[in-house]
Structure 1
Amino acid sequence: MLTFVLKYEQLFSIKVGGMMTNKEKILAIAHRNNGVLLTSHVSAAHIPRAALIPLVDDGVIRPVQRGIYVTDEGYVDDFYLLQARFPKGIYSHETALYLHGFSDRAPILPIMTFRYGTSTTRMKGELQPVIVSKDLDRGKIEIERSGSKIIVYDIERSLVDLLKPRYNADFEQFIPAIKRYAASRDKDVNKLFRCARHFGVEIEMQKYIGGLL
């Protein structure tokens, strides 16, 4: 097995009989992703998925969920696993507050936002879907958890989403979160109000944060 000390680019510079073997390519991909391997990664590299079988049999990688494997060095965050299953979703609302450190309450049923038309049949019991017809990508960012990257709305979009009239927000989480935001050195109030204005909740936002600034 190639050592995981080497970087991905270095691994691909190594030649075995003029070319890397599929095993080496797979391990290089896993290393680049902090020991996590998706079958979609393998397919994108034009490697037959059958090449995974001997690696599993030898204990080099182990399946943790359909289509997801880890090496001994790998650790898979639960939020990463869920998003790997539902890659079109974006963590939002109270779940986004938690992921950004603005809520101490870990979600029992994570909340993800999807584009209108997305089938939610397979999501029952796995997550709470929120469907939007537009502005899905506004405020979408990528954050890292335990070496894996997940997609979540930024804190401004997350706070604004909680004030939308069609969403029954948990204000026991929203109020402490807006207070933390107001006290944060990283707050961007102009960005917050631009987002609130865009979604028609600027007056509501002013009610909650106005006295805190």
Structure 2
Amino acid sequence: MNNKEKILNIANSNGGVVLTKQVTAAKIPRSTLTDLVNVGILFPVQRGIYVTENGYIDDFYLLQARYPKGVYSHETALYLQNFSDRAPVVPTMTFKYGTSTTRMKGEVKPVIVSKDLDLGKIEIMHNGSKITAYNIERTLVDLLKTRYNTDFEQFIPALKKYATSKNKDINKLFRYAQYFGVDIELQKYIGGLL
């Protein structure tokens, strides 16, 4: 298998999308990407991201590729996990303290945490692409934190849907709530639903 075929294999296994960092990790010269662009097999979408003619690029995947240290959270995570039908106008992502957010203005609504960035982080499939988000339990708990201005028109229906879900993990939800100090607040909302 030559380098061009290897790149196309990477793209085919990723919904028609290939990243420069994937090519580098596979120890394939980047000039091969340029060759595939020049003959019209790959098309550049943004810096470091290429797509085949039949490939599909999801906006959430593009943002994740642009800000790989971010984790989709809050109302955006509700939407991505089908706990809300309201697509975010500006997606919310959580980043570790110290991350520069100045170039994200308007593209992403950044939330900064000093610790526990990885707690509840999962990979989900969205429109054929893998993206990183918080699990539903962490998402619901994050929405109750006092420093976040929660949209309760999205939170309450999501909590009701969670309460009737077959995949709910109430123990995990309350562990997260206790860990983040919102267990009393959560009890107010979920008490009558269980």
Q: TM-score range by the shorter chain?
A: over 0.9
- Tell me the TM-score normalized by structure 2: 0.97
- How far apart are residue 72 of structure 1 and its match? 2.0
Question: Which AA in structure 2 matches 1:35?
Answer: G
Of 69, 75, 89, the match for 1:108 = 89
Question: Which AA in structure 1 matches 2:78?
Answer: L
- How far apart are residue 34 of structure 1 and its match? 2.2
Secondary structure, counterpart of 2:75 in structure 1: helix
1:138 is aligned to 2:119 = yes
Question: Which AA in structure 2 matches 1:135?
Answer: D
Coordinate RMSD, CA, aligned: 0.9
C-alpha distance in 2, partners of 1:195/1:105? 25
Write the deviation string for residues 18-39 of structure 1: whole angstroms up to 9, x where unpaired. Answer: xx32212211221222211000
1:82 is aligned to 2:44 = no
The aligned residue for residue 16 of structure 1 is none
The aligned residue for residue 44 of structure 1 is 25
Unpaired runs of 5+ residues, structure 2, are none
Write the deviation string for residues 119-165 of structure 1: whole angstroms up to 9, x where unpaired. Answer: 10110111000000011000000000122100000000000000001
C-alpha distance in 2, partners of 1:99/1:21? 37
- Tell me the TM-score normalized by structure 1: 0.89
The aligned residue for residue 17 of structure 1 is none
C-alpha distance in 2, partners of 1:34/1:95? 22
Of 28, 49, 52, the match for 1:71 = 52
1:152 is aligned to 2:114 = no
The aligned residue for residue 54 of structure 1 is 35
The aligned residue for residue 7 of structure 2 is 26
The aligned residue for residue 97 of structure 1 is 78
Of 148, 152, 171, the match for 1:167 = 148
Secondary structure, counterpart of 1:162 in structure 2: helix
C-alpha distance in 1, partners of 2:83/2:6? 40
The aligned residue for residue 127 of structure 1 is 108
Secondary structure, counterpart of 1:70 in structure 2: strand
Of 185, 197, 203, the match for 2:166 = 185
Question: Which AA in structure 1 matches 2:68?
Answer: P
Question: Which AA in structure 2 matches 1:34?
Answer: G
C-alpha distance in 2, partners of 1:30/1:188? 35
Write the deviation string for residues 3-50 of structure 1: whole angstroms up to 9, x where unpaired. Answer: xxxxxxxxxxxxxxxxx3221221122122221100011111122212
The aligned residue for residue 7 of structure 1 is none
C-alpha distance in 2, partners of 1:30/1:203? 47
